[in-house]
C-alpha cells in the first residue's frame, strides 16, 4: 500500500485528507501516481497537475521523476507559508 | 540544538536562558520572534497554522545542520506554534548562540529564510472578510535564493 | 527608540516586552545580546568597560536614526553596560521590531556593526596574565565597511 | 578655555584624564591643539601623533583639520572596543 496525504488548500479543494493506493509495478514514480489519482475526476486532474503543487516522498521533497516503492508515504501540498 | 512544534505559547525568556547556558563559551546570542501581525485593514482576526508532522521536524533539523556547516555556531533553538493564533501572538522563535556575533546573526537570518520557504507549515487567514489560505510570497523565495 | 548606558545588569525579558508592545503592528522582533566570553585560555577574569558619557548616547542615537532611514523599522532599544563585568555577564542588548523580518534582521545587525566601530566604549581585560586594554579588530572595521 | 579629555589606554599612557587649555586665536584646529599638547613631553608627542589616535570635538568625531573655538570640548582616545 502507498499512503497519500494532502495538506492545506489542496486538501480543502480535493475534500480529501488522505488516500491509499495499492502498490503495483506500474507505479514507478510520482508522475505515475499523479496520473492514477487524476482519474478520480476533473478537480483531481487540475489540482495535481498544477505547476505550483509540491510533493514529498517519505517526508523528503521530491519531484515528478522521484521513484516510489511499496509502503512509501507521499504528500502533496501547496507552497509553504509558515514562520 | 532542538526543535519544538507546539500549540501552546512559548516563553522567550526560557528559550533565551537555554542559549545563555553555554556562557562563557559564547559571546553572542541572536534571536528572532515572529508574531501575528494585523491584516485586512483591521478586519483580520487570527491565523490558523497547519503542518505536516514528521516532515516539519526533519526539515528544521536539516536547516539547522546546514547552518552549522556554514557558520561556527554552538546551539540553535527553534519553536514553531500550530493551531489558531490571534493577533499579536507569538508564532515562531529562532535563537542561535556563537562565539562571535557574525555567525549568530547570519545563521539566525538564514534559518528563518529557509524555514519560510522549506518547512511544511501553512497559514489560513481568519478574517471578517472571509477565511482564506495565504499565498507564498516571491520575496521569501528571493531571500532564500540570496543564501545560495 | 531609546538608549540606556548603565552599570546594572538588564533583563532581556523587559527589553523584549517593550518591543512586543508594538504588536499587532509588528510581525518581527530581532534581538542581539553580547556576553563576556572566556579569554586567555581560561585565565581571563572580567572586562572593565569605560565610555565617554555624553558622546556615547549621541553616537548610538545617530546609529539608530541611520538604521531607521535605511529600513522600515518601528522601534529600537539599546542597552550597554559599563563597569566591571565578569565572565558570562551580559554586556549589550540591541532589539529591533518591524512589520517584516528582513528590516529587523538587517537593522539589528547594522546597529551592532556600527556600535562596535563608532560608539566610544573601551574594554580592559582583567586577567591572571595581567590587565590590558583590548585592541580594535580589523574584522569589525570590515563588517562596518560592508554596510557602506 | 578649551576642555581636553583623554580616555582608556591613552589616558593611562599620558597619566592624565583631563586638561584645560587657554583659548587663543593661534589654536585654529585640532592640529594646533596637538602641537601645543605635544610640548608637554616625549610621551605626549608620541601618543597624540600616533596614526591610531581618534579625536572628537563636542562629542562628534573630528580630524586634524576640524576647526575649534573657545569652550569646545575635545576628546582624544584609542579606537573603540565596545559591544
Q: What is the pLDDT of residues C88-108, one digit of tens each?
A: 999 999 999 999 999 999 999
CA atoms within 13 A on the CB side of A30: 20
Taking CB atoms and an 8 Å cutoff, what residues of chain C touch B13? 12-13, 16
Cβ C105–B112 below 8 Å, yes or no?
yes
The minimum CA-CA distance between B120 and chain A, rounded to whole Å, is 5
Among left, alpha and beta (phi > 0; psi -120 to 50; other), residue B130 is left
Own/partner contacts of A43-52, CB < 8 Å, gap of 24 or more, are A43/A13, A43/A14, A44/A14, A47/A10, A47/A13, A47/A14, A48/A76, A52/A78, A52/A79
Cβ B28–C13 below 8 Å, yes or no?
no
Instruction: Tell whether pTM > 0.90.
Output: yes
> Predicted ipTM?
0.95
By C-alpha distance, the chain B residue nearest A83 is B116
pLDDT tens track for C20-66: 999 999 999 999 999 999 999 999 999 999 999 999 999 999 999 99
Burial B49-60 (b: 16+ CB within 10 A, else e): bbbbeebbbbbb
Write out residues 30-89 of C within 8 Å (CB-CB) of B. 30-38, 87-88
Taking CB atoms and an 8 Å cutoff, what residues of chain C touch B20? 35, 88
Taking CB atoms and an 8 Å cutoff, what residues of chain A touch B135? 79, 81
Cβ C105–B108 below 8 Å, yes or no?
yes
Peptide bond into B73 cis (omega under 30): no
Taking CB atoms and an 8 Å cutoff, what residues of chain C touch B21? none
Taking CB atoms and an 8 Å cutoff, what residues of chain C touch D61? 118
**pLDDT exceeding 90 applies to what percent of chain C?**
99
CA nearest to C31, candidates B72, B22, B19: B19
Chains D+A touching (3+ CB pairs under 8 Å): no
Q: Which three cell numbers stand for residue B81?
A: 506554534
Torsion on CA atoms D3, D8, D9, D15, rounded to nearest 10: 50
Q: Please check the confidence at residue C1 and state whether its pLDDT lies above 90.
A: no
CA nearest to C37, candidates D83, B17, B16: D83
pLDDT tens track for A23-80: 999 999 999 999 999 999 999 999 999 999 999 999 999 999 999 999 999 999 999 9
The minimum CA-CA distance between B148 and chain A, rounded to whole Å, is 18
The per-residue pLDDT string of chain B (148 residues; one tens digit each, 9 = 90 and over) reads 899 999 999 999 899 999 999 999 999 999 999 999 999 999 999 999 999 999 999 999 999 999 999 999 999 999 999 999 999 999 999 999 999 999 999 999 999 999 999 999 999 999 999 999 999 999 999 999 999 9
Amino acid at each position: 500500500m502507498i499512503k497519500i496525504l494532502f495538506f492545506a488548500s489542496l486538501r480543502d479543494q480535493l475534500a480529501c485528507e488522505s488516500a491509499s493506493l495499492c502498490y503495483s509495478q506500474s507505479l514507478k514514480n510520482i508522475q505515475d501516481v499523479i496520473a492514477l489519482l487524476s482519474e478520480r475526476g476533473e478537480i483531481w486532474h487540475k489540482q495535481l497537475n498544477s505547476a505550483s503543487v509540491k510533493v514529498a516522498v517519505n517526508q523528503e521533497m521530491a519531484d515528478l521523476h522521484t521513484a516510489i516503492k511499496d509502503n512509501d508515504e507521499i504528500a502533496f501540498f501547496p507552497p509553504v507559508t509558515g514562520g | 540544538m532542538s526543535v519544538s512544534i507546539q500549540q501552546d505559547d512559548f516563553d522567550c525568556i526560557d528559550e533565551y536562558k537555554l542559549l545563555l547556558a553555554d556562557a562563557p563559551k559564547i559571546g553572542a546570542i541572536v534571536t528572532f520572534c515572529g508574531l501575528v501581525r494585523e491584516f485586512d485593514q483591521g478586519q483580520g482576526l487570527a491565523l490558523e497554522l497547519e503542518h505536516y508532522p514528521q516532515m516539519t521536524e526533519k526539515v528544521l533539523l536539516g536547516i539547522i545542520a546546514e547552518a552549522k556547516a556554514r557558520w561556527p555556531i554552538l546551539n540553535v533553538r527553534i519553536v514553531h506554534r500550530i493551531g489558531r493564533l490571534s493577533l499579536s501572538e507569538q508564532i515562531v522563535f529562532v535563537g542561535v548562540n556563537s562565539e562571535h556575533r557574525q555567525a549568530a546573526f547570519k545563521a539566525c537570518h538564514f534559518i528563518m529564510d529557509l524555514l519560510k520557504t522549506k518547512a511544511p507549515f501553512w497559514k489560513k487567514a481568519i478574517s471578517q472578510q472571509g477565511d482564506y489560505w495565504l499565498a507564498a510570497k516571491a520575496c521569501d523565495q528571493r531571500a532564500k535564493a540570496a543564501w545560495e
